Structure formats: structure tokens, C-alpha cells
Amino acid sequence: MDINRITALVTGAASGLGAATASLLAAKGASVVGLDLQAAIAKCERTENIRYVATDVTDEDDVSAALNTIDSDQAPLRLVVNCAGIAPAARILSRQGTHELGLFRRTLEVNLLGTFNVLRLSSAVIARQTAHENGQRGVIINTASVAAYEGQIGQIAYAASKGGVVAMTLPAARDLARSGIRVNTIAPGIVDTPMLAAMGSEVREGLARDIPFPKRLAQPAEYAQLVVMIAEHDYLNAETIRMDGALRMAPQ
């Protein structure tokens, strides 16, 4: 799939993985619609060819309204990248008591339900586009985590939500095959995002020591690079690709 002159929708586009992805896609000629919460958009650096729309990915009306702003006659929607997510930490049992049910529910709502909400609504728009010669109309790329496979202590809610994203990949690809839409997932390891940078250099260096090779944290730009590769590789479908430097997470 050629990224130039298409519309790409990126959630969580105001920071981290989403910001890096939106920026690279725009540099490659895509018209990017970046979804994020208004508070995050207000703080982000604006980039040419990225139009930000304040959106709660868990809200059906919000996502539908954002999709309705896309002019498919000018640049058809063919790529969707789900990066929006939260990563709370809480044990099932701790000195503070039991894991809050509300926190577990909210994590599933944002990471899993939000991903599905954008996937289902955007796939309906992509399915209306003109198919390429091989019948392809577009691709949807979701974001999981290595925590889906090796959730650490305190990651019960996060691991469950990302495990759900991985589990959706194959049935989603099968469901959307007849519409010419591919579905793939990226499962990053430890990425040097602004949230991680706030932990300080000592913590970040300690995390990097556990990575077999390359012995460093991943960069958001590398996630964005993988997004482009998946989009351009027309035979990649129903795959979850780990981007982790061969890391297998320890219990804590």
C-alpha cells in the first residue's frame, strides 16, 4: 500500500508512539488525522499535515464525529493506527487493599474497548473506498505490549487489556478480509517515551540492562518505522509483531 496521498488516522497522536507515528506518516505524504484528548492536544507540538481532533476513543459519538471530518474524495482513509492507551500499576492484593474494580474497568475500556471502537467504526469507512488491483482497501494496526505475554507484578489490568488486543488480531483480520482490510498488531517492549523519561536516567538505564540486544530502550521512531513497514507490506496480515530486542519480562 502506498502511504502517499492517503488519509491515516492515528489515536494517541499527541505524544509518545502516536506522535512519532503521525509525524512519520505525514512526512511520507499522508494526510494525518490525530486523535487524542483535548488536554494532550493542547500540550503537543504541532506538525504540518497533521490535523488534531479532540476525541475520547471509548466514545462512539466522538470517534464517529472524527471520522466524519475526513474527506475521502481528496485523500481516502486507508490506514488506522491505534496507539491510545493507559498503563496503571496495581497489585491484586497490596497494603492498600484489593485492586480497585474501577481501575481495572477503566484500563479495559481505554486499551481494549477503545481499540475495538476505533477498529469497528474506521473499518466501515475504509470498506467504502475503492479497492486496489489486489482487492486491498486498507490496513488497521493496533498496539499491544509484551505484557500481553509476560505481564509483571502490578500489571494485571494492563496485561489483560493488551492480551485482549492480541486475541482480537486474527478474528478481526478474518472478519475484514472480505472487505480488503488487513489487521496487524505491534507488541512493543520498553520504549523511551516521555512517560518513561520522567522516571529518571538511573531507572531507564536499569531497564535497558535487561534487554538482550540491542542493549537500549526502543525509540518511538522505531515503532513508527514498523508501522510504515506493515502498511507497505501487503502480505502481512493477522500478525502480532514483538518489537522488544528479544526481551522477556521478569516477574518484576
pLDDT band at 133 (very low <50, low <70, confident <90, very high): confident
pLDDT digits (tens, 9 = 90+) for 182-238: 999 999 999 998 777 766 777 778 889 999 999 999 999 999 999 999 999 999 999
pLDDT digits (tens, 9 = 90+) for 14-39: 999 999 999 999 999 999 999 999 99
Beta-carbon neighbour count of residue 111 at 10 Å? Answer: 29
Mean pLDDT of the region 72-94 = 95
Residue 206: its pLDDT value, please?
82
Q: Are 186 and 223 in contact (CB under 8 A)?
A: yes
Residues 13, 17, 21, 24, CA torsion sign: positive
Q: With respect to residue 143, please indicate whether it lies within any of the assigned structural domains.
A: yes
Give 243's strand partners.
188
Q: With respect to residue 204, please indicate whether it lies within any of the assigned structural domains.
A: no
Burial class (CB in 10 A: 0-12, 13-18, 19+), 198: exposed
Query: Is the entire prediction scored with pTM above 0.85?
Result: yes
Q: What angle do CA 62, 67, 107 make, to 5 degrees?
A: 45
Mean pLDDT of the region 146-158 = 96
Whether residue 46 has pLDDT greater than 90: no
Report the half-sphere exposure of 131 (CA within 13 A, side-chain side). 11
Q: What is the DSSP letter of 150?
A: H
Mean pLDDT of the region 143-172 = 97
Q: Are 9 and 33 in contact (CB under 8 A)?
A: yes
Whether residue 161 has pLDDT greater than 90: yes
- State the Cα–Cα distance between residues 32 and 23, nearest whole angstrom: 8
- State the Cα–Cα distance between residues 138 and 197, nearest whole angstrom: 34
Q: What angle do CA 72, 78, 82 make, to 5 degrees?
A: 115
Q: With respect to residue 66, please indicate whether it lies within any of the assigned structural domains.
A: yes
Q: With respect to residue 208, please indicate whether it lies within any of the assigned structural domains.
A: no
- State the Cα–Cα distance between residues 167 and 174, nearest whole angstrom: 12
Domain that residue 237 falls in: 7-193+220-243
- State the Cα–Cα distance between residues 99 and 81, nearest whole angstrom: 31
Whether residue 58 has pLDDT greater than 90: yes
Burial class (CB in 10 A: 0-12, 13-18, 19+), 179: middle
Q: With respect to residue 250, please indicate whether it lies within any of the assigned structural domains.
A: no
Q: With respect to residue 199, please indicate whether it lies within any of the assigned structural domains.
A: no
- State the Cα–Cα distance between residues 13 and 9, nearest whole angstrom: 9
CA 184 vs CA 94, 141, 240: distances in Å: 36, 5, 6
Which residue among 52, 149, 158, 223 is the active-site one? Answer: 158
Q: What is the DSSP letter of 155?
A: B
Is 169 in a helix, a strand, or coil? Answer: helix
Q: Are 47 and 26 in contact (CB under 8 A)?
A: yes
Q: How many domains does the chain have?
A: 1
CATH number of the domain residue 109 falls in: 3.40.50.720
Whether residue 96 has pLDDT greater than 80: yes
Residue 223 is among the residues annotated as catalytic for this protein: no
Q: With respect to residue 125, please indicate whether it lies within any of the assigned structural domains.
A: yes
Q: With respect to residue 215, please indicate whether it lies within any of the assigned structural domains.
A: no
